Amino acid sequence: MTKTLFISGTVLLLLVGLVMLLVSFKTGKIETPEYKVIKTIGEVEIRQYPKMVVAQTVLQDTVMDKSMNNGFRTIAGYIFGGNDSNQKIAMTAPVVMTMGDTATMYFVMPKQYKKDELPKPASGKVKILEEGEKTLAVITYGGFSSAEKVETHRQKLLAILNQQQIKTVGPFMYMGYNAPWDIVNRRNEVAVEVEVVVN
């Protein structure tokens, strides 16, 4: 199921890029979550992320492009004013897709907001949630992404974690950062929550 969910990655990244470009013209910069690297294992970084507030939607279909595109549009609608205050909220990066028994997509809200400070979504499909502190194992790769590349890096990440006897917690996720027309310094990541790693 995980592999088929990533088939829509290219289409999703196109949409992500369009929104990011529009926002970057207005703000000049896209905010990304702060994290601390606590360990490096070859290509893998073990990162500690703080609490974050996210706008999340559940993807209704686990295979079709339409579901992924609709999920993105649903959350983008919220940050572009689809809320009870008609308030526009800055876009951040990355856009995160989690792949488990239930597939979800979420945007991290700008760090200036607390959960109760955000406007209520106009769509019942958008939920404002607070994600607790997490330790993620992350593998980063450049270039243009594809379903095959995502799956390759997911398998590579899992193999390294298994070799190090690091237990995973929950589903894998894909994190996309770039507009599709960015030629250099492209950033894609596959990640999974892990049990806290000491030393």
Name the residue ranges covered by the structural domains of the chain.
Answer: 2-194
Residue matched to tokens 């999703």 = 12
Beta-bridged to residue 194, according to DSSP, are 168
Higher pLDDT pick, 164 / 102: 164
Q: Does residue 11 register a pLDDT over 70?
A: no
Are residues 122 and 84 in contact, defined by beta-carbon separation less than 8 angstroms? yes
What's the confidence (pLDDT) of residue 62?
A: 54
Identify the CA nearest to 114 among candidates 134, 124, 129. 129
Confidence of residue 2 (pLDDT cuts 50, 70, 90): low
Rg from Cα positions in the chain: 16
Confidence of residue 16 (pLDDT cuts 50, 70, 90): low
Confidence of residue 24 (pLDDT cuts 50, 70, 90): very low
CATH 3.20.80.10 fits 2-194, yes or no: yes
What's the confidence (pLDDT) of residue 63?
A: 47
Most confident of the following: 10-19, 58-67, 126-135, 171-180: 126-135
What's the confidence (pLDDT) of residue 68?
A: 62
Higher pLDDT pick, 96 / 22: 96
Q: Does residue 17 register a pLDDT over 70?
A: no
What's the confidence (pLDDT) of residue 150?
A: 83
Identify the CA nearest to 173 among candidates 149, 122, 137. 137
CA dist 104 → 60, 67, 70, 87, 94 (Å): 9, 10, 12, 23, 14
**Distance between CA atoms of 194 and 133, rounded to whole angstroms?**
12
Q: Does residue 180 register a pLDDT over 70?
A: no
CA dist 170 → 18, 31, 40, 51, 173 (Å): 30, 26, 21, 17, 9
Q: For 93-111, what is each residue's pLDDT tens digit?
A: 998 988 877 889 999 999 9
**What is the pTM for the complete model shown?**
0.80
Are residues 45 and 138 in contact, defined by beta-carbon separation less than 8 angstroms? yes
Output the CA angle 105-86-107, nearest 5 degrees: 15
